[in-house]
Structure 1
Amino acid sequence: MLVVGTEADFAPFEFPVIKNGQKQITGYDIYIARRIAKKLGVKLEVQNTTFSSLITDLNQNKVDIVMAGMTDTPAREKSVAFSMGYYKVKNVLLVQKGQATTYAHISDLAGKSVGAQQASLQESIAKNHLTKSNLVTESNVNSLASELQNGKLSGVILDSVVADNFIKQHPDKYEVASIALPTPKSQRNISIATRKGDKKLLKQVNLVIKQMKQTGELDKLYQQAQDEEFSK
């Protein structure tokens, strides 16, 4: 059994769907996890929890790997080992429809409330660069998007593809601000987290990712995840 830990509110990486009357977790990360489990010759189990607890769960042996759109950062590398990257991160600011040009510079967010997922790269960016803004963190990205729509937040920092999904689902409610948000070079890869001692598992994970890159399967699965998200 391969147990993957995730937080399923980060489409198209992971999100819930109803199949045959039952709730299931699917998405880009889950597709890749299935390939890894198949390579290992074991079944896959998905555990859905809060993003901020995932590394703790990993190191307490509650899960075997973490796949949650998680960015490989120097801070996290102190606690876990990361696979090679399988997705490049670009961060944007999601705002209400009609406010894209209202926030063109970081200074425009001074005194404004900005949301970011708790314990995420986006939270780190806000703390480092939006020092004059009021940072609001929650474990659930969907909750932050709702607060943005309700006017409680001026913007939410998200990976660009996650922001695009919100816009595709609600084109009358959201858009991306013209502000440029920096993403450090050392924090641009989404990767799979393993325990530092699980070197054999990490080697197998990297082998699967490398093969999927070479065959173009990663790109195909990413598109498949987007298609499934919008067919719900």
Structure 2
Amino acid sequence: MKKMMTAAVSLVAGLTLVACGTGDKDAAIAPLDKIKEKGTLVVATSPDYAPFEFQTLVDGKNKVVGADILMAEKIAEKLGVKLEVSSMSFDNVLNSVQNGKADIAIAGLSVSEDRMKVFDFSDAYYHVQDVLLVKKDGASSYTSTDSLAGKKVAVQKGTTQEVYAKENLKDASIISLTQMGEAINELKSGQVDAVLLDSPVALGYASQNKDLAVADIKFPETDANTKAIVMPKDSGSLKEEIDKIVKELVETGEYENYLKEVANYTAVE
């Protein structure tokens, strides 16, 4: 019996060592090498943020499109691999990169100091402003952040707008919602008074909904107004390659052309 137990313990110990060794080996492989080895770039996104990423009908089927998706296609092409778009709610996008389920995240993501402690960011590919989307017939009453006292302000869960609102709009009631489409619907139905979001997204909703408008309130500019691609911490050569591609897309105006290309698409929830 003692011999059998000793053999069993030795077998378990051996398997444990093998498992640990395999994990260490995988962990030692650089992110760029992992992507090229499997031949696929898995990009996490949340397709509810037109014009960056959203769903539209193509030949009767839902398809994820947007300026960020076109950029992801370009990155995969330059790296010589296939693109796999992994759609999820925005508050899960960063987690998918952290736990290795996605290689990178492109989801209209803003740079922040807290995020930079955990992830690598590419160079900026776009700059935006935080704006307030409100009902058009009451837009003139919003002239400063003081106008939000006692109001219900919706934000998307996991965004830098959520962080800003909770830290700075103390006199307002902050409503965190998973989907941006849900926030817009609650604004239109009167369940919230305003939605805090990125300027291109707000302008898109305002152009498609004649009862909505962007309020004349200025919010402070921060790093959060910068859009960038998220990668695992210490991505090394992967970050170098992506930065080169981003620089080319920005300097040639190709990313701006992506935004124009998707402008006439109709988003579906």
Tell me which interval the TM-score lies in, with the shorter structure as reference length.
over 0.9
Let me know the Cα RMSD of the aligned residues.
Answer: 1.4
| Unaligned 5+ runs, structure 1 | none
- Aligned with residue 209 of structure 1, among 212, 225, 246: 246
- The separation in 2 between residues aligned to 1:40 and 1:175, in whole angstroms, is 41
The structure whose residues are more often helix, as a share, is 2
Larger radius of gyration: 2
Q: How far 1:39 sits from its partner (Å)? A: 0.2
Q: Which amino acid in the other structure matches residue 216 of structure 2?
A: S
Q: How far 1:129 sits from its partner (Å)? A: 1.9
User: Corresponding residue for 1:119?
Assistant: 158
1:183 aligns to 2:225 (yes or no)? no
User: Corresponding residue for 2:124?
Assistant: 85
Q: How far 1:107 sits from its partner (Å)? A: 1.4
Q: Which amino acid in the other structure matches residue 61 of structure 1?
A: G
- The separation in 2 between residues aligned to 1:106 and 1:22, in whole angstroms, is 42
Q: How far 1:67 sits from its partner (Å)? A: 0.6
- Aligned with residue 256 of structure 2, among 212, 219, 223: 219
| Unaligned 5+ runs, structure 2 | 1-39
1:56 aligns to 2:88 (yes or no)? no
Verify the 8 A CA contact 2:45 2:93 in the aligned structure 1. Answer: yes
- The separation in 1 between residues aligned to 2:231 and 2:262, in whole angstroms, is 23
User: Corresponding residue for 2:237?
Assistant: 200
- Aligned with residue 101 of structure 1, among 140, 146, 149: 140
Verify the 8 A CA contact 1:99 1:177 in the aligned structure 2. Answer: no
Verify the 8 A CA contact 1:11 1:229 in the aligned structure 2. Answer: no
User: Corresponding residue for 1:29?
Assistant: 68
- The separation in 2 between residues aligned to 1:27 and 1:75, in whole angstroms, is 27
Verify the 8 A CA contact 1:125 1:183 in the aligned structure 2. Answer: no
1:12 aligns to 2:51 (yes or no)? yes
- The separation in 2 between residues aligned to 1:200 and 1:22, in whole angstroms, is 37
TM-score with structure 1 setting the length: 0.95
TM-score with structure 2 setting the length: 0.82
- The separation in 2 between residues aligned to 1:224 and 1:168, in whole angstroms, is 17
- The separation in 2 between residues aligned to 1:204 and 1:72, in whole angstroms, is 19
Q: How far 1:175 sits from its partner (Å)? A: 0.4
Deviation readout 1:164-191 (Å, 9 max, x if unpaired): 11011112x100111222232x222100
- Aligned with residue 73 of structure 1, among 82, 96, 112: 112
Task: Give the secondary structure class of the aligned counterpart of 2:50.
Answer: coil
Deviation readout 1:39-89 (Å, 9 max, x if unpaired): 011110111101111111101111111011000110101111000000102
How many residues are aligned here?
229
User: Corresponding residue for 1:2?
Assistant: 41
User: Corresponding residue for 2:212?
Assistant: 174
- The separation in 2 between residues aligned to 1:147 and 1:213, in whole angstroms, is 35
Verify the 8 A CA contact 2:150 2:173 in the aligned structure 1. Answer: yes
Q: Which amino acid in the other structure matches residue 65 of structure 2?
A: T
